[in-house]
Amino acid sequence: MFRYTWPLHVMLLPAVILVLLFQYLPMLGIVMAFQDFKPWTGFTGSEWVGLDHFRSIFERKDSTQVIWNTLIIASLKIVFIIVIPVAFALLLNEIRHAVYKRTVQTLVYLPHFLSWVILGGILADLLSPQSGLVNRVLHDWFGIRPVFFLGDGNWFRFTVVASHVWKEFGYGTIIYLAALAGINPSLYEAAEVDGASRLQQTLYVTLPSLVPIIVVCTTLELSNILNGGFDQIFNLYNPMVYAKGDIIDTFVYRVGILDQQMSFSAAIGVFKSVVSLVLITAVYRIAHKVANYRIF
């Protein structure tokens, strides 16, 4: 059998090598979480400290605050990135003008392809309290004092969640539109014969049919509950919003790379990975029971 499929295995080889080099080989660095790691002594010469760094995660004020920040920001992102694409897909599905529908669909999908480096610069200009377009509109049209969106912790969280949803909801909309296209038309015909209005058809035909894909997307999103979005936060935050906007990934970057506390940052990374594994396992089992969703 292998003599017929060896070209396929050769095609897979580069991808397998990349996964081994960049996903599995770095896992050897987990040992740093249990050592007082020094780069000049290496893994073999560094002193073993056991679980000391893991205790520090819950003893240090800054690390516990970072965990709460990550949970709050990630949870808000998950809720809105599920609800808004579903609602928008339902509304877009009601449009009968094909050209207009495709145009809107394309426009809301485009931000997905922009990097946070570009969007970070755009948002910094738009939200500037002195010259930003948003604050000008708020002041000139509504008489509202300038808001420091990227310098006030509470507004920073709002900005992060809103900008993430704006960037990514178009991608989710396409997924739900594809699911809507797969619903059996006879279900709507039967509901119409029974006298169901468009709203009732949405509530009793469309939404129940979308439950499996909603469960799948929620499962995938919950696996990122401790990923607040490094690219986004790193390009938007500053020391003024560390108390409310700093997340695990940016904290690990500062502590591990800038402050050279490699063992402590490795311990936070291991903690994050273990919690994520437990969550994705639990959510996967729930998805299997609720929507009969299985990968294996």
Confidence of residue 295 (pLDDT cuts 50, 70, 90): low
3-state SS, residue 32: helix
Of 98-107, 157-166, 226-235, 278-287, highest mean pLDDT = 157-166
> Taking a C-beta distance cutoff of 8 angstroms, is the pair 283, 219 a contact?
yes
The Cα angle at residue 31 between residues 52 and 222, in degrees rounded to 5: 85
Domain for residue 57, yes or no?
no
Instruction: Provide the domain count of the chain.
Output: 1
The mean predicted confidence, pLDDT, of the chain is 84
| Domain harbouring 174, CATH code | 1.10.3720.10
Could you read off the pLDDT of 177-223 as tens digits, one per residue? 888 888 888 888 888 888 888 888 888 888 888 888 888 788 777 77
Task: Tell me if 52 is assigned to some domain.
Answer: no
Q: Does 31 map to a domain?
A: no
Predicted local distance difference test score (pLDDT) of residue 220? 76
**Domain-embedded: residue 2:** no
User: Could you tell me the residue range of the domain that residue 258 belongs to?
Assistant: 63-109+152-291
pLDDT at 296 over 70: no
Query: What pLDDT is attached to residue 294?
Result: 66
Q: Within 13 A of 251's CA, how many CA atoms are on the CB side?
A: 30
pTM of the full structure: 0.82
Q: Tell me: the pLDDT tens digits for 105-145? A: 888 888 888 889 898 888 888 888 888 888 888 888 888 88
Asked which of 25-34, 215-224, 244-253 is least confident by mean pLDDT, the reply is: 215-224
User: Cα(213)–Cα(219) distance, rounded to whole angstroms?
Assistant: 10
Amino acid identity, position 184: N
Residue 232, judged by CB atoms within 10 A of its CB (0-12, 13-18, 19+), counts as: buried
